[in-house]
Structures are given as C-alpha cells and as structure tokens.
C-alpha cells in the first residue's frame, strides 16, 4: 500500500517535473525520506512541555472564512507593476515564458513553468490579510503547496530558511528587488502556498502575478509577490542586508507572526 502510494507519487512528480528531473528521480530514493523534516519533528520528544506548546501553536491553522466574508475588492499594496523590462516582457507574453527557479541548499534544483506549478498538489483557502499599514482584506487564494515543491527539490540537512526573490526592483535605478524569507516550520505548513489565483481568477498583476506567497500566520509584508526564484539557505548572512527581507533590512521584524 505504502509502496504503491510512493510509486504513484513518484510518477506524479516525474510527470510534473519533466523528463530531466524524472531521470534523476528514478535513481534516487530521497523523496521518501525528506531527511530533515522527521528530524525536526523528532526533536519534540526531548523538549519541555512549554516548548512543545510553542511548536504546537506554530503548527496551528490561521482562521479561514467563507465566500460571504470576502472583501468586495482585494486592494494592492506596495508594488503594483514591477518596473523591470524582464518582467514587462514576461507579462506581455501572458507569463508563458515564466519559470520558477528553486535552488540553493537543495539536492535537486528545479525549474517549473506555471502549468507545472498548477499540476502540483494545491490548496484553496479564504483568509484575512493584515498589513502593518493598518488595513485588512479577506481573499480566496489557490496555489501550489510549498511543501510539495520543497519535497521535490529535497532540502539539504543544513537548509533552515526559504528565501523568496521577487521581480520588483525597490530602487529607482532598477536594483534591490523585493525579497522575503520564512523558516521551515512555516514553509511546510499546510496553508503556505504559492498562489496563482485570487478570488477564482488568475492572479492579477497588482496582487503579484504570476505567483505570490501566502504564509497565512504572518503579516502582509511577508507575503512576497512576483516570486521568481526560491533559495534555501542556512543563514541570511550573504543575502543583501542580511536581515532576511527587504523591509527587515529597513528595521521591520523578521518574525511577523500573528
Ligand atoms: N514583491 C513584493 N511583494 C510584496 C510587496 C511588494 O511591494 N513587493 N508588498 C508587501 C506588502 S507590505 C503587502 S501588505 C502585500 C500586499 O499584497 P497585495 O498587493 O496583494 O494587497 O504584499 C507584500 N508583498
Ligand atoms: Mo503591508
């Protein structure tokens, strides 16, 4: 039974990830191992009750709402159209040429088109977005589970954080693209998705097309829009300002849990 599930899972991933990755998949057993994840869970056994509570609350689900609760419009904040020629070209082509790159501390770097991302296990959720600037909105998001993507890329044991590199430059000279990061606990949380739909429609450009992060127990600025590349790292030391995000480098908290 277990073997069968594993096989079909493998076939699914092989199909999803294309021929090159399929070759690599067949030669390697690591998919079924996801080595470091059980290790993280396993450490719970040696922890005090207080710490276990903390971990349990970190696994808790963010509140979900119903269609009746949806905000009439989901506003855009921050960048509404990335000011880069590369992004403009992608958008002009309906994002057909878009590929999400996943690299850094992974055993199997992957590169996925939007249709490949749509073929990954998905989740749909109606949640409330809270921005530190003092507004909230309830939206319905559909996207690929980040956990499924990471399982395909196989994080190395040293990987501690997932960094999201975005398309929008934050300086007028076209440099310093927006970026954000989360830890593995949030990365593997069931509500953490790479969304390609908002309110049953293709994700609009002002809300982060073609792909934006939803990390539902964190404040708005953690939800990276226009995600182009995902990098697994052990620390933020060598990344930009070293604080794990564009706003974090300007003094915002890295941990924006709510
Ligand atoms: N790439 C990128 N991601 C971003 C931002 C941004 O300016 N660029 N703004 C952040 C902030 S502060 C918020 S509140 C949300 C806004 O998402 P929305 O435009 O869908 O409302 O995106 C976050 N992610
Ligand atoms: Mo925000």
Question: pLDDT-derived band of residue 32, with 50, 70 and 90 as boundaries?
Answer: very low
Residue-level pLDDT at 258: 80
64-99 tens-digit pLDDT: 999 999 999 999 999 999 999 999 999 999 999 999
DSSP-derived secondary structure letter, 136:
E
Ligand nearest to the CA of 247: 1
Computed on alpha carbons and rounded to an integer, the radius of gyration of the chain in Å comes to 18
145-156 tens-digit pLDDT: 999 999 999 999
Question: pLDDT-derived band of residue 223, with 50, 70 and 90 as boundaries?
Answer: very high
Give yes or no for residue 12 having a pLDDT over 50: no
Give yes or no for residue 1 having a pLDDT over 80: no
Residue-level pLDDT at 47: 65
Question: pLDDT-derived band of residue 45, with 50, 70 and 90 as boundaries?
Answer: low
Give yes or no for residue 16 having a pLDDT over 60: no
Residue-level pLDDT at 39: 45
Q: Separation of 221 CA from ligand 1 center, angstroms?
A: 6
* Percent of the chain that is helix, strand, coil (3-state, to 5): 35, 25, 40
Residue-level pLDDT at 94: 98
Q: Ligand 1: which of 221, 226, 249, 256 to mutate, judged by most atoms within 8 Å of the beta carbon?
A: 221
Residue-level pLDDT at 59: 80
pTM score, whole prediction: 0.82
Residue-level pLDDT at 57: 76
Ligand nearest to the CA of 180: 1
Instruction: Please give the domain boundaries of the chain with CATH numbers for all domains.
Output: 2-249 (3.90.420.10)
On the CB side of 55, CA atoms within 13 Å amount to 15
Residue 69's CB is within 10 A of a number of other CB atoms, namely 13
Residue ID of nearest Cα to ligand 1 atom 7: 78
């Amino acid at each position: 039974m277990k073997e069968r599930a594993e096989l079909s899972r493998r076939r699914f991933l092989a199909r999803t990830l294309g021929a090159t990755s399929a070759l690599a998949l067949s030669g390697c057993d690591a998919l079924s191992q996801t080595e470091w994840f059980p290790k993280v869970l396993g450490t719970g056994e040696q922890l005090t009750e207080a710490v276990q509570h903390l971990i349990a609350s970190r696994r808790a689900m963010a509140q979900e709402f119903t269609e009746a609760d949806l905000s009439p419009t989901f506003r855009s904040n921050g960048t509404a159209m990335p000011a880069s020629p590369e992004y403009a070209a992608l958008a002009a082509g309906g994002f057909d040429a878009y590929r999400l790159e996943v690299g850094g501390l992974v055993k199997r770097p992957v590169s996925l088109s939007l249709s490949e991302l749509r073929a990954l296990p998905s989740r749909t959720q109606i949640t409330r977005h809270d921005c530190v600037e003092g507004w909230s909105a309830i939206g319905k998001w559909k996207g690929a589970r980040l956990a499924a993507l990471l399982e395909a890329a196989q994080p190395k044991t040293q990987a501690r954080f997932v960094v999201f590199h975005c398309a929008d430059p934050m300086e007028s000279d076209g440099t310093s693209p927006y970026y954000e990061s989360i830890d593995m606990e949030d990365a593997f949380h069931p509500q953490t998705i790479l969304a390609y739909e908002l309110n049953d429609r293709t994700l609009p450009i002002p809300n982060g097309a073609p792909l934006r992060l939803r990390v539902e127990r964190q404040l708005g600025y953690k939800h990276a829009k226009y995600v182009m590349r995902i990098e697994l790292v052990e620390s933020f030391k060598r990344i930009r300002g070293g604080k794990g995000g564009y706003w974090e480098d300007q003094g915002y908290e890295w941990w924006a849990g709510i």
